[in-house]
A and B are shown apart, each in its own frame.
Chain A
Amino acid sequence: QSVLTQPPSVSAAPGQKVTISCSGSRSNVGINYVSWFQQLPGTAPKLLIHDNTARPSGIPDRFSASKSGTSATLDISGLQTGDEADYHCGAWDTNLDSYVFGTGTTVTVL
């Protein structure tokens, strides 16, 4: 059902950086705004990034995002054990006239 493609998992040591990609198409990532959500184990998703690059109040600047063409990227720098979670991207799809999510990426801190 997921329209946006993410890598199933990424991992790195504490203090390192991970990058999560979100690949879509023109009708979603290409022309609409991307959000990113963090889902800690056993909890509800939490808004991490909106408007492609903006962080809500309280989200540390270790989390940053960008978008180019039909792909978006979430970077997590200075990785901490508390960052172990699933990360989901999302965007409106103009063709489907509905919101779509990515396949989700599990971040593991080695």
Chain B
Amino acid sequence: QVHLQESGPGLVKPSETLSLTCFVSGVSISDYFWSWIRQPPGKGLEYIGYIHPRGNSLYSPSLKSRVTIAADTSRSQLSLTLRSVTDTDTAVYYCARHEEVPFIRRGFDYWGQGSLATVSS
């Protein structure tokens, strides 16, 4: 079955770069779109952006200047890079699958368990 597994450093210093990976099994990542979504502690969900391994990508306007999402089909992995982090970037980061863009009408049907990234000196 489809399984998503995020991984990351756990702790990042302010002004540095946060890098996260999402390993996907059970399906070819080339056949779907993949989004990153984050959730600050005790708060709601915030959309970060999506990628399709065949080249399509889009980022949330609020994070666009600091974010890069990439896909490595040979490793069945997605990656998220967030530059110049501050404490407001502390959150659980999720990767999630969806079937279409741009309206994502069918929602995010598979999610990873999430990876907590804490920004602190």
B-contacting residues, A47-81, CB 8 Å: 47, 49-51, 56
Cβ contacts A81-110/B at 8 Å (1 or 0 each): 000000010101000111111111000000
- Count of chain B residues with Cβ under 8 Å from any Cβ of A? 26
Considering the complex, give the chain B residue whose CB is closest to the CB of A52. Answer: B105
Asked whether A44 and B102 contact (CB < 8 A) given A37-B107, A88-B45, the answer is no
Tell me, yes or no, whether B35 is within 8 Å of chain A by CB.
Answer: yes
Considering the complex, give the chain A residue whose CB is closest to the CB of B109. Answer: A47
Q: Which of A35, A44, A98 contacts B60 (CB 8 A)?
A: A98
By secondary structure, the B interface counts as loop
- Indicate the size class of the contact surface on chain A: 20 to 34
Are B106's CB and A51's CB within 8 A? yes
Q: How far is the CA of A26 from the CA of B61 in the complex (A)?
A: 19
> A residues near B, CB below 8 A?
1-2, 32-33, 35, 37, 43-47, 49-51, 56, 88, 90, 92, 96-104
